[in-house]
Amino acid sequence: MIANQVNINRLSIMKNKTVKLNWKKWLNYQSVVKQVPFLFFLAFLAVVYIYNGHMADKTVRKINAVAKEVKELQWEYKSLKAEVMFRSKPSELSKVLQPLGLSELNQTPYVLKDSLETYMANVH
């Protein structure tokens, strides 16, 4: 029984040493230098990721500004359209043209004929 405990203690000590040895293996100068290109690649990916986030935020701000401008232009268009429709009603036109001496016709309009047409019709 004592022999089993000694063997278990030895195994646990050996496991601890192998774990420590593995960390030492990863942290020595050669392995760190070997991993430098990969670390640069990870740093580059981090910079690209940050840049992409900033560009996305900037694009969203531009989209919101353009959407706001489109809404304002739609309101302006609708108000101008309503104003034009109101001013083009016959009653509104007569009010505007009255100071100029123009009014609506009370009689049927005259049909004007060109004298050259009647001459050409008689010649042939």
Q: How many CA atoms lie within 13 A of 43 on its CB side?
A: 6
**Residue 56 domain flag:** yes
**Residue 28 domain flag:** yes
Q: Are residues 76 and 92 in the same domain?
A: yes
Q: Do the Cβ atoms of 104 and 94 come closer than 8 Å?
A: yes
Q: What parts of the chain have a pLDDT lower than 70?
A: 1-26, 124
What is the domain range of residue 44? 39-100
Number of H helices, E strands in the chain: 5, 0
**Residue 95 domain flag:** yes
As given in the structure block, the two tokens for residue 105 are 């016709």
Domain count along the chain: 2
Q: Are residues 46 and 89 in the same domain?
A: yes
Please write the tens of the pLDDT for every residue from 9-25.
665 665 555 555 566 66
As given in the structure block, the two tokens for residue 53 are 């986030």
Separation between Cα atoms, residue 2 and residue 26, nearest integer Å: 37
